[in-house]
Amino acid sequence: MRNAPKATRQRSFSISLLAALLTLAAAIAVAGCGGSDDSSASSDGGALDIVGYSTPEAVYEEALEPGFQATSDGADVSFSNSFGASGDQSRAVEAGQPASVVHFAQGGDMIRLVESGQVAPDWDKQQYNGIAQDSVMVMTVRSGNPEGLESIDDLLTKDVDIITPNPFSSGAARWNIMAIYGSQLHEGKSPQEALNAVKTVLEKTVVQPGSARDALAAFTQGEGDVLLGYENEAIKAQTEGEEVDYVIPPSTILIETPIAVTKDAPESAQKFLDFIWSDAGQEIWAENGYRPVNPDLVDEKQFPTPADLFTIDEFGGWEKVNDEFFDDETGSVAEIEKELGVSTSG
């Protein structure tokens, strides 16, 4: 609003004071008439900082966020996004990176923020146990599957160059490793034999990029014979015209990705999370190759259930698994990676 003109020297003090009071009254009246809607919008809207693992970046920016903004709850909400390797993202939030909603590749990255006090301990008591969407570990192969890969056992017995991300920065890589490990246990192998299978796969791995997205880029640019990773990434690659196929192993792991609002997040963060869990949000995930957490929305033709589908809970959950396998000093996978000269620093 423009300032009132200065009083001239010829005007009396009382006239100047009266003019000032009238100006102030007018300003208050304008604020009272036009400010209520703006105040309401700012309390319900505002900016949300989304911090997530690498693969769902396009889904957020091209579908979930615009979809939420088209609703009454999201009409006045804006977004600031940060996506990258899951472990790196979790550590960044722990160190102070702003975050309203955090979405990671595996539960250990969420547990880190519970322990730091940034996410409530009951995050996994929310709808769908705090899981945003599901996937399964698949083998992405060249078009026509020239190596004839059908199962995880084929990775062990055939002469193939493998790509999988680094498990000390990427949550996807940890899912891959636990899929290999679990498949061997389900064949009746001992824990040591299952771990030996993990070592064999890592010995055949020609590159370990920092994230699932970087691993997919390496594969589509010509490296390796087979990429281990998310089903949704394989579907995305096909949708974008890459000459790839993918194989769902008969024995593989159900990938569940955790999501939560942070303790200091505005109210609109929870409303956005509710939208993600709504039928509309879950259908967006399905359209982009992710398995909905709402079982009523899972199309078996699009997302067939593998014959032997197991979960991370079989191994004690992520807190136990991360300590036993992925502790960068004492974990069994860390020891393998160090033998192979691969960084475990994250």
SS (H, E, C) the chain: CCCCCCCCCCCCHHHHHHHHHHHHHHHHHHHHHHHHHHHHHHHHCEEEEEEEECCCHHHHHHHHHHHHHCCCCCCCEEEEEEEECHHHHHHHHHCCCCCCEEECCCHHHHHHHHHCCCCCCCHHHCHHHHEEEEEEEEEEEECCCCCCCCCHHHHHHCCCCEECCCCCCCHHHHHHHHHHHHHHHCCCCCHHHHHHHHHHHHHCEEECCCCHHHHHHHHHCCCCCEEEEEHHHHHHHHHCCCCEEEECCCEEEEEEEEEEECCCCCHHHHHHHHHHHCHHHHHHHHHCCCECCCHHHCCCCCCCCCCEEECHHHHCHHHHHHHHHHCCCCCHHHHHHHHCCCCCCC
CA-CA distances (angstroms) from residue 340 to 82, 179, 264?
31, 20, 42
Would you place residue 44 in the very low, low, confident or very high pLDDT band (cuts 50, 70, 90)? low
**Domain assignments of the chain as residue spans, ordered by start:** 43-133+257-297, 134-255+304-339
Q: 102 phi and psi, to 5 degrees?
A: -120, 135
- Considering only residues 198 and 45, tell me which one the structure prediction assigns the higher pLDDT: 198
Indicate the class that CATH gives domain 134-255+304-339.
Answer: alpha beta
Q: Residue 230's beta-bridge partner residues?
A: 137
Q: Looking at the predicted structure, is the pLDDT value of residue 5 above 50?
A: no
In this prediction, residues 45-71 reach a mean pLDDT of 96
- Considering only residues 45 and 248, tell me which one the structure prediction assigns the higher pLDDT: 248
Q: Looking at the predicted structure, is the pLDDT value of residue 40 above 90?
A: no
Per-residue pLDDT, 17 = 36
The answer to whether the CB of 175 falls within 8 A of the CB of 55 is: no
Indicate the class that CATH gives domain 43-133+257-297.
Answer: alpha beta
Among residues 32, 30, 6, the alpha carbon closest in space to that of 19 is found at 6
Per-residue pLDDT, 234 = 96
In this prediction, residues 24-49 reach a mean pLDDT of 48
C-alpha to C-alpha distance for 132 and 154, rounded to whole angstroms = 31
Q: Looking at the predicted structure, is the pLDDT value of residue 7 above 80?
A: no
Per-residue pLDDT, 11 = 36
pLDDT digits (tens, 9 = 90+) for 81-114: 999 999 999 999 999 999 999 999 999 999 999 9
Average pLDDT of the chain to the nearest whole number: 89
Counting beta carbons within 10 angstroms of the beta carbon of residue 240, is it exposed (0 to 12), middle (13 to 18) or buried (19 or more)?
A: exposed
Would you place residue 25 in the very low, low, confident or very high pLDDT band (cuts 50, 70, 90)? very low
Q: Looking at the predicted structure, is the pLDDT value of residue 6 above 90?
A: no
Counting beta carbons within 10 angstroms of the beta carbon of residue 64, is it exposed (0 to 12), middle (13 to 18) or buried (19 or more)?
A: buried
Matching CATH topology for 43-133+257-297 and 134-255+304-339? yes
* Pick from 39-48, 125-134, 187-196, 235-244: least confident: 39-48
CA-CA distances (angstroms) from residue 131 to 19, 143, 150, 344?
61, 32, 29, 27
pTM: 0.85
Q: Looking at the predicted structure, is the pLDDT value of residue 242 above 80?
A: yes
- Angle among Cα 133, 139, 143 to the nearest 5 degrees reads 115
How many C-beta neighbours within 10 Å does residue 338 have?
13
Return the axis-axis angle of helices 332-339 and 317-326, rounded to nearest 10°.
30
Q: Which one-letter amino acid corresponds to residue 92?
A: A
The answer to whether the CB of 268 falls within 8 A of the CB of 44 is: yes
Q: 334 phi and psi, to 5 degrees?
A: -60, -40
Give residues with Cβ within 8 angstroms of 133, minimum separation 6: 56, 257, 282, 285, 290, 291, 292, 293
Tracing tokens 């890592």 back to the chain, one arrives at 202
The answer to whether the CB of 138 falls within 8 A of the CB of 99 is: no
